[in-house]
Amino acid sequence: MKKIIFTLLLLTVFITVTACGNQTSNENEPKSEDSNQVEDEANKEDTSSSEEVENDEQTEEEAKEIIMEKADEVLKLLKEKNAKELANYVHFEKGVLFSPYSFVDKEAVTFDIEKVEGFFEDAETYTWGTQDGSGELIKLTSSDYYSKFIYDSKYDQADEIEFDRKEARGNTIRNIAEVFPNSHSVEYYVKGTEENGNMDWKALNLVFEKDAEGEWKLVAIVHDQWTI
């Protein structure tokens, strides 16, 4: 009887030691190629994700630099009334929309590239919106609209230049981002004068959006000023 018990104890110890040895061996075994491949792919995905985030940040910064540069070029052409050269900056599919105030009407006057080229020779009278305060229709030729609602201040000597401004400066709602959700804008702001209680400030917003080829093109010229 004692021999049997002793034998069983030895057998139990042997089984336990063997099981522990196999477990240790499995833990120390090199991983299979499939396991390594899965881990490598997971690591690549992590690295790729972090690189994409970094590239997105770089792209935004690069886009801002490109747009700011193009806005300055467009502003220079507007000052010089160089419509033919200006047309090269206009979005081919969308054309360029003109808004007399910062609240942009989606149905506002929009010129395609050809009409932009002949902007200052166009004798036709257009309805550009309604006059603030009186509510009268703004009926002007392109040249007259330019004088009153495009280059009506020294924007080349702007007191402030802002990228993607969100807040309205006056009483009028600023909805550029809503009308052009995939765009970026550059605002040239000229302060008002003390004799007019600083209420004669002016601002010109140049709005850019990517075309089918990925180039930033002009889609809107939005004028802004104090409104009642």
pLDDT at 83 over 90: yes
Beta bridge partners, 190, equal 202
Q: Which residue has the higher pLDDT, 84 or 15?
A: 84
CB distance 201 to 190 below 8 Å: yes
CB distance 158 to 188 below 8 Å: yes
Cβ-proximal residues to 77 (8 Å cutoff; 6+ apart), any chain? 83, 85, 86, 89
Q: What is the 3-state secondary structure (H, E, C) of 152-168?
A: CCCHHHCCEEEECCCCC
pLDDT at 48 over 70: no
pLDDT of residue 118: 98
Measured CA to CA, the distance from residue 140 to residue 157 in angstroms comes to 27
Q: Which residue has the higher pLDDT, 37 or 95?
A: 95
pLDDT of residue 57: 54
Measured CA to CA, the distance from residue 70 to residue 183 in angstroms comes to 14
**Residues 92-126: tens digit of each pLDDT:** 999 999 999 999 999 999 999 999 999 999 999 99
Sign of the C-alpha dihedral computed for residues 142, 147, 152 and 154 taken in this order:
positive
Lowest mean pLDDT among 33-37, 119-123, 131-135, 175-179: 33-37
Instruction: Place 170 in a pLDDT band, splitting at 50, 70 and 90.
Output: confident
Measured CA to CA, the distance from residue 152 to residue 217 in angstroms comes to 23
Lowest mean pLDDT among 120-124, 135-139, 168-172, 178-182: 168-172
* Range 175-204 average pLDDT: 96
Cβ-proximal residues to 146 (8 Å cutoff; 6+ apart), any chain? 81, 119, 120
pLDDT at 65 over 50: yes
Q: Domains in the chain and their CATH numbers?
A: 52-225 (3.10.450)
Cβ neighbours of 63 (radius 10 Å) = 14
